[in-house]
Structure 1
Amino acid sequence: MNERNDGVPGGPTAAGATDWTTTPVTAELLRGALDLEVTEHGVLPHRLPARARAQCADGQLAMAEAQPSGVRLAFRTRATTVELDALRTRTAYVGAPARPDGVYDLLVDGRLTRQAAVSGGNVLLVDMTTGATETRPGPVGTVRFSGLPDRAKDVEIWLPHNEITQLVTLRTDAAVEPPVDRGRARWLHHGSSISHGSDAASPSTTWPALAASLGGVELTNLGLGGSALLDPFTARALRDTPADLISVKIGINLVNTDLMRLRAFGPAVHGFLDTVREGRPTVPLLVVSPVLCPIHEDTPGPSVPDFSEFGDGRIRFRAAGDPAERASGKLTLGVIRDELDRIVRQRSAEDPNLYLLDGRELYGEADAAELPLPDGLHPDAATHRLMGERFAARVFGPGGPFAARSDA
């Protein structure tokens, strides 16, 4: 697995070291990815398999699934310095200030120890007024972590949840071994941009990552920004991915894309759950209804951006639908919660391992008063922490649907 290299240009040798180990980045060292694509620069982790990606040409989905939310390099080493060369693709918006760099979280024996960012990289420039995009190429950058304890330890590097990341080279000043299997339950979660990470502070502090840490489980996060749309290929990915626990958070993207009507929604949910159950017939399966989103509680979509503060780096969303359109079958979050409750009650008569969690238990009316959604749709870092703690307590904690299968 390891290759010895002396005097790596631009690497740790600048700090006086002379003997370094280069380790190829392979699936053996990655957690949270369903596929690994070899590119001209290195490898690109994907959160949907190639077959799924081939069945949808939507640019939003392509960007979301290639952003490695929950994906991390994991290995065991005595190294005191770790370097990772990576080529990022970050998103920027015409007319708006630059967005913060994506964050790499370094965990040592499960504890967040360092944070850093990669320079350079590609820029995907988006004009939100026209939908036009342009990719501007840039160079590979390096993230460096030094001063780590000189002992055998488990190391995880959580990749930025909001930047497409091609992994080029892993360098360390000691040998790297695959991580030890701790026998933790494998939790597979699917949801929208809120599950993807939206405005979380860093990749290990998205609400699913926090909940997984508190619950003592291994996370695979299929939260796909703007793309939790009951797609059959996503259901098949859930069906075919080994898991001990599965959760699906359904609702907000169906409203803010105005994708379907009530007549289609019910059968689509049944079909999605049927597909998951084809491969995982008895795994605890939790359906999570939408968290509170005031603009869409009783007003249908689509969500449309308000550009009035765009030049100051702020953007808000509003609901463009009409509440009267509910009579014709347009979806609101209230309608979706009622229908999910009905569907889960119906199915649980024959599926004792199927559960429902009202998303407002994670973020509800009282929370919205104290921690309003900054842009009308997405929670901030403090709300991610609140949601992660509540999910862990209600789902992994005593009496929760996942309690018997977690290590908490």
Structure 2
Amino acid sequence: MNFQDNWITTAITEDLLRGALDLERTDRGLLPHRLPARARAQFVDGQIATAEAQPSGVRLSFRTRATALELDTLPTKLVYTGAPPRPQGVYDLLVDNTLTAQATSSGGNVVTVDMATGTAHRETGPVSTVRFTGLPDRVKHVEIWLPHNETTELVELRSDAAVEPTAGDSRRVWLHHGSSISQGSNAAGPSTTWPALAATAADLELVNLGFSGSALLDPFTARTLRDTPADLISIKIGINLVNTDVMRMRAFGPAVHGFLDTVRDGHPTVPLLVVSPVHCPIHEDSPGPVAFDTDALARGEVRFVATGDPTEIAAGKLTLRTIRDELARIVAQRATNDPNLHYLDGLELYGEADVEEHPLTDQLHPDAATHRLIGDRFIERVFDAAGVFTAEPLPNSRR
């Protein structure tokens, strides 16, 4: 760790953080959460526990004249027995909304998961320092976006000039919920997930509730959306319902209605966009559950396969195609009494015609270039002059 005589240490507090809904004080530092404590008390599932503690969209935000910054963090890295190494978590440095530098953290804890036995072994590791230098010598807006795929405890922030929180931000708040695609799986960095790209382009304050494997219409997620201040809300529904095989069509429709009812209890007039699944060839007409492709794992690759029986669709098994049809019907029905409710077909963001040029390399998740494609198309369809997220906030739109 390199110290300078003029280092200034700034306590990491709530007013420096954006995109987190709760902060947990740990023995080593401060752990951002994307679900509040009340919601976290209502599940025992390890998948969502891991996902919500990975700080997708969470960033330190401040103004400073500093030309050098150091951030001490304690990451928790996941290792899956028999699978290729996961990508390192990336820290993105933005100066005046422009991505200026990236860094990774070499230390931290390691959790090794044996998928065959369902067991996990945790090894405690050291705090690591992420360093950025060569920043312009002027007062500027700085954001450090935390890794979207790696649990990160914040320990200490140091700089060679004073740091001030960006208080009084007048930007509209965009609250988004979705799956691992929204959390950012396979994106190049936390500021280049498709929601982060869209938020930056539209000059919005992003709160990203994309949870890997866990966009399952859970009531605690709906209540979190209900209770979180927002000017714009989008909900991307579908892929996790298929690949977990968690429900059938009989439960799906009422669950969507109940989820939307809860969100509307807190945000009766906020523009609310329901987005159906993007194209995913393995689940268009084949139900879940999804499974690892064991032949690919033997080759050192991660790929997924659908294991459901298409003959069960008639009995209510969900596919992406049936989900899109039902979501479009539900939104059209509700929109007769809710003029601020809108629908976007996910195929407009990534469709069958895109597969050849932008294949889903693991059969499930977009790569970095495809995140940019989806983000660009979302901006075009949602934030332009004719889009459903208008330029000016509606009266009384925020709780």
TM-score by length of 1: 0.95
The equivalent residue for 2:87 is: 100
Correspondence list, 1:125-136, <5 A: 125-136=112-123
1:219 offset after TM fit, Å?
0.5
Among candidates 354, 371, 374, match of residue 341 of structure 2: 354
Q: Size of the alignment, in residue pairs?
A: 393
* CA spacing shift, 1:312–1:159, aligned 2, 3 Å: farther
Does residue 389 (structure 1) correspond to residue 376 (structure 2)? The answer is: yes
Q: Given the alignment of the two structures, is residue 310 of structure 1 paired with residue 301 of structure 2, yes or no?
A: no
2:215 to 228, 235, 242: 228
What is the alpha-carbon distance in structure 2 between the residues aligned to residue 239 and residue 313 of structure 1?
Answer: 42
2:75 is equivalent to residue 88 of structure 1: yes
Q: Could you say what secondary structure the match of 1:343 adopts?
A: helix
Aligned to 2:270: 283
Partner of 1:368: 355
> How do 1:3-402 residues align onto structure 2 when only pairs under 5 Å count?
10-13=1-4, 18-402=5-389
Q: Tell me by how many angstroms 1:245 deviates.
A: 0.0
CA apart distance, 1:311: 4.5
Letter in structure 2 aligned against 1:135: R
Give, as a single letter, the amino acid of the residue that structure 1 aligns with 2:360. Answer: L
SS at match of 2:350: coil
Conserved 8 A contact 2:15-2:167? no
How far residue 96 of structure 1 moved from its aligned partner, in angstroms, is 3.1
Structure 2: 5+ residue stretches without partners: 394-399
Deviations 1:267-292 (A, max 9, x none): 00000000000000000000000000
- For residues 361-392 of structure 1, give each alpha carbon's deviation from its aligned partner in whole angstroms, at most 9, with x where no partner exists: 00001111211111111110110000000001
Q: 1:244 touches 1:405 (CA, 8 Å); kept in 2?
A: no
Q: How far apart in 2 are the matches of 1:98 and 1:253?
A: 23
Q: What's the TM-score once normalised by structure 2's chain length?
A: 0.97
Would the aligned equivalents of 2:293 and 2:305 in 1 still touch at CA under 8 Å?
A: yes
Aligned counterpart, 1:7: none
CA offsets per residue over residues 185-208 of structure 1, 9 Å max, x none?
100000000000010010000000
Q: Deviations over 1:138-170 (max 9, x none)?
A: 100000001111111110000000000000000
AA aligned to 1:141 is: S
| Alignment deviations for residues 78-129 of structure 1 (CA, whole Å, 9 cap, x no partner) | 1111000000001111123432311100000110011101111011111222
TM-aligned CA deviation for residue 398 of structure 1 = 1.6
Does structure 2 retain, via aligned residues, the 8 Å contact 1:395–1:401?
A: yes
Structure 1 alignment gaps of length 5 or more? 1-9
Q: What percentage of residue pairs aligned between the two structures are identical? A: 69
The residue matched to 1:12 in structure 2 has which SS? Answer: coil
Render the CA deviation track for 1:291-327: whole Å, top value 9, x for unaligned.
0011111111100111212254311111111111011
Q: CA deviation at 1:403?
A: 2.7
Q: 8 Å contact 1:97–1:311 — kept in the other structure?
A: no
Deviation string for 1:221-246 (max 9, x for gaps)? 00000000000000000000000000
* Distance (Å, rounded) in 2 between the aligned partners of 1:71 and 1:313: 32
1:132–1:21 distance in 2 versus 1, CA, 3 Å = same
2:397 paired residue number: none
Deviations 1:244-269 (A, max 9, x none): 00000000000000000101000000
**Distance in 2 (alpha carbons) for counterparts of 1:212 and 1:181:** 18
Secondary structure in 2 aligned to 1:404? coil
- Give the SS at the match of 1:403: coil
- Residues 21-73 of structure 1: CA deviation (Å, up to 9, x unaligned): 11111110000000000000010000000000000000000000000000000
Q: Which amino acid aligns with 2:135?
A: L
Contact kept, 8 Å, 2:73 with 2:128, in 1: the verdict is: yes
The residue identity in structure 2 corresponding to 1:198 is S
Partner of 1:5: none
